[in-house]
Amino acid sequence: MNDGSMIVHRLRVGFIAIPVLSILGLISSDLVLADITPSQKNANNSSNLQSIYEKAFGQTQQTLPSELTVSLSIGKTAIGELTVFSNRKTITHVDTQSFLSFLKKQLLDEYYQAIKHHAETVPHRFPLDDLKQWSIKSEYNSHRLSLDLKIPDAIRLPTALSLQRKRTIVYDEDELTQPETLSGYTNFSAKMTHDHHSGKTDQRIQARSVLNADHLVLENQVTWRNQANNYNDSDLNRDYTRLSVDDPDSDHRYQLGDITTSGRNLQSSIALGGISIRKYSNMNPYRQKKSETGEAKDQNQSFSIEENSRVKIFINDRLKAVRQLDEGLYHLTDLQLSAGINTVRLEIIPLSGGGNVEEKTFTLNYNQQLLADSESEYGLDVGLPRYRKNGRHTYDADNPIASAYYQQGLAHQTSVGVSGLSDGEHYQVGVNATKSGKLGEVKATLSFSDHAAQQDLGSKIEYRYRANKDLPNLFLSGEFYGKDFSRLSYQSSENALMAYEQQTKQRLYAQVSKQLDHQVQVNLSGQYATQYNTDDNQKSANLSLRKQFNDGKSASVNLRYQNGQYEDKSAQVQLHIPLNDDRPQQGRYKTLDTRYDSLDDSIISRFTLSPNGNFGKESLATSITHQHYKTSDNVSATVSYRDPRFAGTVSHQVSKQNNEEDYRHRSQIKLESAIAFAGDAVGLSRPIQDSFAIVKAPSYQKDSEKQREAIAVAKGNMSFRRDKGNALPDYYHSVISKNGMPAVVPLSDYHQTQVNVDSSALPLGSDPDATEFKVRPNYHQGYQ
């Protein structure tokens, strides 16, 4: 065969071989696909193609670098990049420190600690084969340059499925506006009451001040009263003074000055002048992601998804959210549950459309006050008893008192605690245990007191079942006290911890309530008590029924019974009537409330006109109340007004006794305001409770002819709507005045939010991007 025919022959063979090989490849592909299990079908497409290619045409040899950087994936989810090492054919080792940092977020702690301990023998390069003893499989995907890990669900830390976005979306530190080193405020409250009949005028001015100097917070409150009220022998009184320091990273608060003991486990709260150390379970909810306090953290709240799906989340038969989730293991947490028993139902719909819709149902008991597993709280208060003498605070230096408590959260929604109180001579100690579950919540408290050689026990047990669907809510409690048991409390007349004579022997209480439908609610309660000093048992009962109508009206009936000295067999009827056909879009809401009580044969009626806005004339609100009793009649009217920088209330009361001819008049006016500073900025505001932000006026161009307008400022993620057609938005928290007076926006401690400036009102030349500020204040901080 000559060269030309040889070339033609080879071309013919090539043209024949190509389609034959293609057909063989397709047949081999079908055979390979037929051997793939359902779980393998869910693998990544590129991994499938690689597997099909290798089975159909054989593996191709490729040489890997001895060291390279690849993507690390768990299932289908890439979690970061990792330095790995090869034997030129496959990945054999990984960088130990980086690998451990990834595993810490993926494994249950006991398994992570075991692998970490094993890694101490290979501090630099961790062998992937060593993972087999924990059933962790690894595979290198050359197409995606990825090291894929398959971790068994039994040792894997579930991904949290949460609805509490405020905890899952946390601002980065570099996004936050930093608080001023020096800031503070003073709230002023002035009230004047004049009795026209006696001619006396009672005046009271109260000032509460807060000074924050680099996280060191000084709080003080003083009250001035004129002598006309005969309240005490002094006009000016210091109510409290204390110095506070918070450590949000460890959830601690330290206080020096006027403090109060906690009063747990049947103990009384006592005012002291001294030192207080408190550790809270979650002072700063943004420090790190945690399971929501009060929810069980066990396998009953975990579920797995076999393929990427759309998940509908129903809580108590109400659709709360729809999430798209990748395959993997998940744990229910932070679900915005209601207190008590909750039913959570998940509808899992595969995105591929080929699978069946799967439903999973969970029954969860939520108790906001119950500590989560491994969480703890404690406190220590030491100081001198504080009491009033001649109207002034006085401290008993001869009888110091110490109080302490410790509360620990355990697994399976269990919490235990202990507390103690003593002055060195007398003492009281107590313990408690709380357990929550699908059948409700049980709390038991036991306390022991020792005073003047008299020792005895007091106990209390409570059971609570709070249903959010079909069953009624139930609360049962029983209290049992020994004759010599007493809640110790400080008595200034005796300058010592004193024990009152125990009167109650036992007290039983029961309450059941049920929402019959969306409009009818019924409540029944009863109490039975026995006393040490009498043979007469005390019994009381209460039955109430409330009906809500579609037009906003509501009616309630309350039947009461009580025996003994304060015998009561009475009924109370109350009506709530809206006077608008529908709540007006732009206008004031008018209501009429009337209550009749057969106990004193009284009729109380109140007309209320609600405000139409936050501030200015639209904030004007009023109420007129008429009170009719057997021996007297009273009529009173109140008008309130709010401004971004102050709030005011004016009221007048007219009363007449049936045996008198003259009417008595009594007038009152109350004003509240605050002055705040942060750095070099100063502003006026309504009273501030926690933290605040001062927003200064923007710089105006000297040659600008634009008329200065008031600029609204608000907190939170909101838009400045003007549906009412006013110059200012319909909703805002403060305002920069036309003359440039800064706005002061109140903030909540340990709550991240945004402070937004209405950019549409900014003058020409202002930076439109500088209108949103992210803040996360600690304890009583000020921003500028």
Q: Each residue of 450-493: pLDDT tens digit?
A: 988 889 999 999 999 887 667 788 999 999 999 999 888 888 77
Contact 302, 158 (CB under 8 A): yes
pLDDT of residue 739: 82
Instruction: Tell me: pLDDT of 8 over 60.
Output: no
Nearest-angstrom CA–CA distance, 15 and 84: 44
The class that CATH gives domain 295-366 is: mainly beta
Question: Which tokens in the block code for residue 84?
Answer: 């790995």
Q: Is 222 exposed, middle or buried (0-12, 13-18, 19+ CB in 10 A)?
A: middle
Where does 679-783 sit in CATH, by number?
A: 2.60.40.2610
Q: What is the mean pLDDT of residues 228-246?
A: 77
Q: Which of 58, 44, 56 is nearest to 145 (CA)?
A: 44
Instruction: Tell me: pLDDT of 712 over 80.
Output: yes
User: Alpha-carbon torsion 750, 752, 758, 763, what sign?
Assistant: positive
Return the bridge partners of 628, or none.
603, 633
pLDDT of residue 678: 96
Instruction: Tell me: pLDDT of 371 over 90.
Output: no
Phi, psi at 424, each rounded to 5°: 95, -25
User: Alpha-carbon torsion 289, 290, 292, 298, what sign?
Assistant: positive
Nearest-angstrom CA–CA distance, 507 and 266: 14
Residues whose CB falls within 8 Å of the CB of residue 760, separated by 6 or more in sequence, listed in order: 720
User: Alpha-carbon torsion 160, 163, 164, 168, what sign?
Assistant: positive
Whole-model pTM: value is: 0.71
pLDDT of residue 328: 76
Q: Which of 443, 279, 430 is nearest to 367 (CA)?
A: 443
Where does 62-157 sit in CATH, by number?
A: 3.10.20
Instruction: Tell me: pLDDT of 165 over 60.
Output: no
Work out the pLDDT band at 62, boundaries 50, 70, 90.
low
Question: Taking every pair of C-alpha atoms in the chain, what is the biggest distance, in angstroms?
Answer: 142
Higher pLDDT, 683 or 657: 683
Q: Which of 506, 507, 453 is nearest to 484 (CA)?
A: 453
